[in-house]
Every structure is written in C-alpha cells, then in structure tokens.
Amino acid sequence: MACFIFIIRGMDGDGMFYRLLTKIIMMNVFYSLIEFI
C-alpha cells in the first residue's frame, strides 16, 4: 500500500490527489477503529 501511494505521489504534480487519498485512508482507519471499539 505504501508503494502504491508513493507511485501516485510521483505521478501527481500538485499533490492534490495525494492529499485527498491520504484523507480517505485516514477516514477509513478512523472508522475502523470506532467499529473495533
């Protein structure tokens, strides 16, 4: 997964897509933790 993000970051010029992807991943992790608890 980390390599996939690294590749996308390299293709993305302004980093906008990378920030959006990071936000989506963080939200998924956050909700997974809530469901786990």
What's this model's pTM, rounded to 2 decimal places?
A: 0.47
Report helix angle 16-36 to 2-11, nearest 10.
160
The structural domains of the chain, with segments of one domain joined by +, span 2-36
Per residue in 14-30, pLDDT tens? 667 777 888 888 888 88
Question: DSSP secondary-structure letter at 15?
Answer: S
Stronger pLDDT, 9 or 20, i.e. the higher one: 20
Query: Count of alpha carbons within 13 Å of 8, Cβ hemisphere only?
Result: 13
Q: How far apart are CA 13 and CA 29, in angstroms?
A: 26
